[in-house]
Amino acid sequence: MLKTRINLTKEYLDNYSIPKHGRVYLYDTKERGLVAQITTKGGISFYLYKKVHGRPERFLLGRYPDTPIAKARTKALVYKTMIAEKKNPRLVDPSLRGEMTFGQLFDKYLTLYSKPHKKSWEKDEKEINRYVSHWKNRKLSSITNDEVTRLHKKIGSDNGKYQANRLLERIRSIHNKGIRWGNCLTNPAIGIDRFPEKSRDRFIQPDEMPRFIEALSQEKNKTVQDYFWILLLTGARRTNAIMMRWEDLNFNQGVWLIPETKNGESVTVPLVTRAVELLKSRQKISEWVFPSVNDKSKPFDPEKGWRRILKRSGLKDLRIHDLRRTFGSYQAISGTSLQIIGKSLGHKSQEATKVYARLNLDPVRASIEKATEVMFGR
């Protein structure tokens, strides 16, 4: 057994000769107690050697290169802090008692947090399964910051910056909960910068609206057709409309009560005559106004129907959420004040309504034109 004291570096470990016999132990001079063990097969593992309650203990910190040197040093320091506070890391860190996998933590996240508290929990499930299903059987400590950074860049290149940022937020949230629940000590998504995002102002332009309405009218699935009409007629968020229940509607007063919106507050949405007539025409076959085709006990997924409508209309770069922006934009074009637009969209602050300020200038400009014509006697 060969013992060497050295400042561990990536270059040193990458170029170290594999021992022919026995094991080599490299003692880090930068973080006391941190040891890199090299076997005859070339495997490198990080350990912390430290006395706990007077007895020598060895704690596995991770395997190189999945666990970088910096992460091993950080983990060694965390364990040493626990020991200094009279705590045994084996009793505090679950990874030393049989570490949880990413898939196990995500299942726990869905059960204890996402499903009870998020209307968009199905998106959490869908995107994690789509982009990081290969992590399901990975130990939490094996997922590194560099790996998450590379994934973020790849998704940004292949699927767009917006999608990459949303996935990064989900990974960060899952690990934050894992830390709070005592299932992991570090978060590999911390410190990764999001891609800059431009504020989106896409809406269906007046010359595009006839094509969209024609495509919507040709939709054979009545649930899909009615759902998108409701988005156009109310400006509601897609998830709120998906979760619409019959008990939330009051046809006598012509209102729809959304129990809880994105900002955590309830909102009462006025229903125009056309929206009331449309909703009344639907059959009550489920608690949901827009139930799933395959399972009436669940709300439906509008994605396939949306793709059909877009294909028929020929419109490009249009998302479901843009229908909400379309609702607000046409209010602005017709001269509605930003305060009323914000109220009708359920905005908590005027900041969210500022995107419509530019559109709101059209009726102002028309008024100025009329005033100047009178002024100069034209």
Which of 50-59, 146-155, 195-204 bottoms out in mean pLDDT, i.e. has the lowest?
A: 195-204
Same domain assignment for residues 222 and 319: yes
Same domain assignment for residues 149 and 231: no
Q: Kindly report the length of the chain.
A: 378
| Structural domain contains residue 289 | yes
Sequence-distant (≥ 6) Cβ neighbours of residue 203 within 8 angstroms: 322, 325, 326, 328, 329
Same domain assignment for residues 62 and 80: yes
Same domain assignment for residues 293 and 218: yes
| Structural domain contains residue 249 | yes
> 44 has which bridge partners?
38, 64
Tally of CB atoms within 10 A around 13 = 17
* Alpha-carbon gap, residue 13 to 358, rounded angstroms: 59
Same domain assignment for residues 149 and 243: no
Same domain assignment for residues 6 and 50: yes
* Alpha-carbon gap, residue 212 to 225, rounded angstroms: 12
* Alpha-carbon gap, residue 232 to 241, rounded angstroms: 11
Residue with tokens 């028309």: 366
Predicted confidence band of residue 371 (pLDDT cuts 50, 70, 90) = low
| Structural domain contains residue 216 | yes
> Of 35, 70, 92, which residue constitutes the final position of a domain?
92
| Structural domain contains residue 191 | no
| Structural domain contains residue 204 | no
Among 116, 110, 90, CA closest to 182: 90
Domain that holds residue 75: 2-92
| Structural domain contains residue 340 | no
| Structural domain contains residue 348 | no
Number of separate domains in the chain? 3
Task: Give the pLDDT confidence score for residue 159 in this predicted structure.
Answer: 87
Same domain assignment for residues 124 and 170: yes
Task: Give the pLDDT confidence score for residue 84 in this predicted structure.
Answer: 87
pLDDT above 70 covers a percentage of the chain that reads 84
Among 251, 308, 260, 261, CA closest to 284: 251
Residue 347 has pLDDT above 80, yes or no: no
Task: Give the pLDDT confidence score for residue 85 in this predicted structure.
Answer: 83
| Structural domain contains residue 138 | yes
Same domain assignment for residues 88 and 112: no
Task: Give the pLDDT confidence score for residue 179 in this predicted structure.
Answer: 84
Between residues 271 and 151, the one the model is more confident about: 151
Instruction: Please work out, in degrees rounded to the nearest 5, the angle formed at the alpha carbon of residue 75 by the alpha carbons of 71 and 81.
Output: 145
> Of 51, 73, 92, which residue constitutes the final position of a domain?
92
Same domain assignment for residues 283 and 305: yes
Task: Give the pLDDT confidence score for residue 297 in this predicted structure.
Answer: 77
Residue 309 has pLDDT above 70, yes or no: yes
**In this predicted model, what pLDDT tens digit does every residue of 205-223 receive, in sequence order?**
888 989 999 999 999 999 9
When pLDDT is averaged across residues 217-242 and rounded to a whole number, the result is 91
Task: Give the pLDDT confidence score for residue 30 in this predicted structure.
Answer: 92
Packing angle, helices 161-181 and 102-109, rounded to 10: 90
289, 280 contact by CB (below 8 A): no
When pLDDT is averaged across residues 181-197 and rounded to a whole number, the result is 84
Cα separation of the two ends of the chain: 101
User: DSSP label at 185?
Assistant: S
CATH number for 52 = 3.30.160.390
E strands of the chain, at which residues?
2-6, 24-28, 34-38, 44-52, 55-64, 249-250, 255-258, 267-270
Task: Give the pLDDT confidence score for residue 365 in this predicted structure.
Answer: 58
Per the prediction, the chain carries an average pLDDT of: 84
The DSSP bridge pattern shows strands 249-250 and 255-258 to be antiparallel
Same domain assignment for residues 239 and 322: yes
When pLDDT is averaged across residues 84-98 and rounded to a whole number, the result is 69
Task: Give the pLDDT confidence score for residue 249 in this predicted structure.
Answer: 94
> Of 181, 198, 222, which residue constitutes the final position of a domain?
181
Same domain assignment for residues 133 and 156: yes
Same domain assignment for residues 34 and 143: no
